[in-house]
Amino acid sequence: MNCYLCGNKLELNPSWRDLFFLDKLETICRGCREAFEPIIAGCRICGAGGSELCSECSRWETTEFGGLIDFGKTLYTYNPAMKEYLHQFKFLQDAILSEVFAEELAVAIKKTIAVVVPIPMNPLKLKVRTFAQVDTMLQAGGVGFLHLLHKNEEVQGEKTREERLETRGLFTLNGTPVPKKVVLVDDMYTTGTTLRLAAKLLKEAGAEEVGFVALIRA
């Protein structure tokens, strides 16, 4: 078996546990794995390193969006290795790469003990990329999820933070009853605007606690 990222042959050391499918086989080589930079500790809301509450989240907490995110977890920084991974996964449509971080994502999500709600893709982007990246990672990790949100067709990645905040209709509910405790899942946390707009809508619809787990903290 070859590394999903660099193509080099993987050095596999199978054990008796593998016979019973108790251990998930590695999908990338040690060199590629060590190139990623995990977030060990940081901001209690977004995971940014350096302080218990980062300056960006401190600003958010002084706005109407303060208190909307009850807990948050990001797993990796957006370093060059992660940037290349995301490009290959999302833009080159290499869906098998959903397996690379699926297990770690699943472990982080299951600790929240909440109903898992993926952040949906922009419908236009979904047509181009052919698959929903977050859904695919959750499926690869064996995580059940519930779709509650529909995303409109505006492209948020092309907007400034201020322009995003003005997009109050970014999400609509799809009519499914909203659980009391929700964990939103996304591939990347950038400014936090998207997650807070989703959290605001869910809390207005009856959710009592909303948090998130994201693979990457940009």
Q: What is the reported pLDDT for 49?
A: 73
Going along the chain, which residue ranges are E strands? 71-77, 115-118, 149-151, 171-173, 181-189, 209-217
Domains in the chain: ranges and CATH = 1-34 (no CATH), 37-217 (3.40.50)
- pLDDT of the residue at 103: 95
Residue 100: per-residue pLDDT: 97
Please enumerate in sequence order all residues whose Cβ is within 8 A of that of 69, keeping only pairs 6 or more positions apart, or say none. 45, 192, 195, 196, 199, 210, 211, 212
Please state, in angstroms and rounded to a whole number, the distance separating the CA atoms of residues 122 and 132.
10
Can you tell me the distance from the alpha carbon of 151 to that of 22, in angstroms, rounded to the nearest whole number? 38
**What values do phi and psi take at 196, rounded to 5?**
-70, -35
Whole-model pTM: value is 0.88
Beta strands at 171-173 and 149-151: parallel, antiparallel or unpaired: antiparallel
Backbone angles phi, psi at 214, to 5 degrees: -130, 145
Q: Which residues of the chain have pLDDT under 70?
A: 12-24, 153-168
pLDDT confidence of residue 19: 46
Identify residue 6 by its one-letter amino acid code.
C
Which amino acid appears at position 62 of this protein? Answer: T
**What is the structure's pLDDT at 40?**
86
The C-alpha torsion from 49 through 51 and 56 to 60, rounded to 10°, is 130
Q: Looking at residue 162, what is its pLDDT?
A: 60
The Cα 29–Cα 8 span in angstroms is: 7
pLDDT reported for residue 154: 58
